């Protein structure tokens, strides 16, 4: 998602008399009547939408409390709540003492990234980094496991051959790699995990039910590439590790992009389902898989219809309410209802508007950045993307719809963050809210959508109060998951850190 981050004020639903006059110049009287009747005919739809999407304090409070409760239930027993609360087996976090050359491979969608980092310990920290991004051919997304992993291993091999300059491996060592794999995995240890299912448009045969680290190691072996995976993580865990390398106060990481997830640092004695497994540090990172949360969310008929038409109905409800993949689709469904209910967008409904997911979240963001008097960018986007011919009145209503959906998403995400912090605070008795605590954020939605960020922060402040919220720092950690995986490879290296 890439859109300019420019602040804006969202136009109100009703037009002033001067705005009506300026927008109506040159229009015949019959057109003026159509504009006004169109706005009136959709007014109840907008009013009901704003009512159903409202997130007043009691709703936010319920969501935060329910998130904390679901976290506890998920830690008590597998299947205890909507939240899977997956053990990451990351018991050793980067300290800054790490030295040496480490690699990362980050597979999260239709591209994968390869990265290397030279670490210099406490004094020099990160000496240098390099990375490359490789597009995955469409046919490999539907091919065999061997084909996909051979392709990634080949990209990694080509990248490693360019190693030089400040990058050097001490003699007698094997290159170690952190593998960021952002698909559902049942983690078995820090360096092994079973793929549960492919998502994000992948349908690779022969991988579900297999250890994905073994798949990568075998592919590297077939190429004669001497590397070993020393850490398997998802993007949220990688982001937390990458941010914590620079700041010991980082306790939570949240991904808000196409999809969403959150993880946090948990005490091992607060995980009943761990069944006696020992961590040398007394803590570990828990992957909440919070996209599956569903308790007390303010949902609309548009959410329910979108969910029913999805490939996973009844699942990932929180993700479908707050993440970038779905915000545009919810708005499209509202606009389709408006187009069918009145003549706000003309006498006929454009064929394009019936196409699911044609309106994307970057389109919403671009429309909300339009500060012009006539909302020309809004009109252009609606015409080019959805085939909608609009006047100023219609454009203002569309911006109101965008703001309503985005405001709900941002505020619910903020309530979810407070729920995680609240659970940690209840267990630690003052060690979270009583001192500086950092939440590391990554993902294109959070990075590029200023209104979403604002609504998220406002909800956190509203729930925690001004004084406590001063101690909670919500900080962007750009591209943290890749370097985080390399740092976790270093932290879990089989070699000592003093070389």
Tokens of 188: 């078995």
Neighbours of 25 (CB within 10 A): 6
Structure tokens at 116: 């290397």
Q: How many CB atoms lie within 10 A of CB 440?
A: 27
- Among 294, 265, 284, 300, CA closest to 425: 265
Q: What gap in Å lies between CA 485 and CA 373, rounded to an integer? A: 47
Give the phi and the psi of residue 201 in degrees, each rounded to 5.
Answer: 90, 0
The two three-digit tokens of residue 112, written as one number: 């994968």
DSSP letters, 49-92, are HHHHT---HHHHHHHHHHHHHHHHHHHHSTTSSS---EE-----
Residues in the chain: 499
Burial class (CB in 10 A: 0-12, 13-18, 19+), 75: buried
Residue 61 CB partners (closer than 8 Å, separation 6+): 415, 463
Q: Contact at 8 Å (CB) between 178 and 230?
A: yes
Choose the catalytic residue: 52, 65, 128, 200: 200
For 51-202, list the strands marked E by DSSP: 86-87, 99-107, 111-120, 126-135, 175-181, 185-189, 192-195
Q: What are the phi and psi torsion angles at 150 (to 5°)? A: -65, -40
Q: 3-state class of 442 per DSSP?
A: strand
Query: What are the CB-based long-range contacts (under 8 Å, 24+) for 394-398?
Result: 394/35, 394/38, 394/39, 394/344, 394/345, 396/11, 396/12, 396/13, 396/15, 397/13, 397/39, 397/42, 397/46, 397/338, 397/344, 398/335, 398/367
Of the candidates 70, 91, 150, 235, the residue annotated as catalytic is 235
Q: How far apart are CA 103 and CA 396, in angstroms?
A: 49
Q: Is 235 a catalytic residue?
A: yes
Tokens of 443: 């993902």
Q: How far apart are the C-alpha atoms of 479 and 486, rounded to whole Å?
A: 12
Please give the positions annotated as active site: 200, 235
């Amino acid at each position: 998602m890439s859109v300019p981050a420019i602040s804006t004020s969202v136009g109100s639903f009703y037009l002033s008399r001067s705005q009506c006059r300026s927008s109506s110049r040159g229009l015949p009287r019959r057109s003026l009547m159509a504009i006004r009747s169109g706005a009136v005919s959709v007014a109840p739809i907008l009013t009901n939408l704003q009512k159903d999407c409202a997130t007043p304090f009691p709703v936010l409070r319920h969501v935060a409390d329910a998130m904390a409760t679901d976290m506890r239930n998920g830690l008590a027993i597998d299947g205890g709540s909507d939240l899977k609360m997956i053990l990451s087996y990351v018991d050793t976090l980067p300290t800054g003492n790490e030295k040496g050359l480490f690699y990362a491979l980050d597979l999260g969608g239709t591209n994968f990234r390869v990265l290397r980092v030279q670490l210099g310990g406490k004094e020099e920290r990160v000496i240098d980094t390099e990375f490359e991004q490789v597009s995955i051919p469409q046919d490999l997304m539907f091919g065999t496991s061997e084909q996909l992993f051979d392709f990634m291993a080949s990209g990694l091999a080509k990248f490693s051959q360019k190693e030089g300059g400040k990058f050097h491996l001490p003699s007698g060592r094997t290159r170690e790699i952190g593998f960021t794999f952002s698909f559902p995995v049942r983690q078995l240890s820090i360096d092994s995990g079973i793929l549960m299912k492919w998502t994000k448009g992948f349908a690779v045969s022969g991988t579900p039910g297999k250890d994905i680290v073994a798949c990568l190691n075998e592919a590297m072996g077939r190429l004669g590439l001497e590397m070993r995976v020393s850490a398997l993580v998802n993007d949220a865990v990688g982001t937390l590790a990458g941010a914590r390398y620079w700041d010991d106060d980082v306790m939570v990481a949240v991904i808000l992009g196409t999809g969403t997830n959150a993880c946090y640092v948990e005490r091992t004695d607060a995980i009943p389902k761990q069944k006696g497994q020992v961590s040398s540090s007394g803590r570990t990172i828990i992957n909440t898989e919070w996209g599956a949360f569903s308790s007390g969310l303010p949902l609309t008929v548009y959410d329910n219809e979108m969910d029913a038409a999805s490939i996973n109905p009844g699942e990932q409800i929180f993700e479908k309410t707050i993440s970038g993949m779905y915000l545009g689709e919810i708005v499209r469904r509202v606009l389709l209802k408006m187009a069918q209910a009145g003549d706000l967008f003309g006498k006929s409904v454009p064929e394009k508007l019936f196409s699911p997911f044609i309106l994307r979240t970057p389109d919403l963001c671009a429309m909300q950045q339009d500060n012009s008097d006539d909302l020309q960018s809004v009109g252009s986007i609606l015409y080019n993307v959805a085939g909608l011919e609009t006047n100023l009145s219609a454009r203002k209503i569309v911006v109101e719809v965008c703001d309503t959906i985005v405001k709900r998403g941002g505020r619910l995400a903020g309530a979810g963050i407070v729920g995680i912090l609240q659970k940690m605070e209840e267990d630690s008795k003052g060690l979270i809210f009583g001192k500086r605590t950092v939440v590391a954020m990554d993902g294109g939605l959070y990075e590029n959508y200023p209104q979403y960020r604002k609504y998220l922060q406002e909800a956190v402040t509203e729930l925690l109060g001004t004084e406590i919220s001063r101690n909670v720092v919500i900080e962007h950690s750009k591209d943290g998951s890749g370097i985080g995986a390399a740092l976790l490879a270093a932290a879990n290296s089989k070699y000592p850190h003093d070389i």
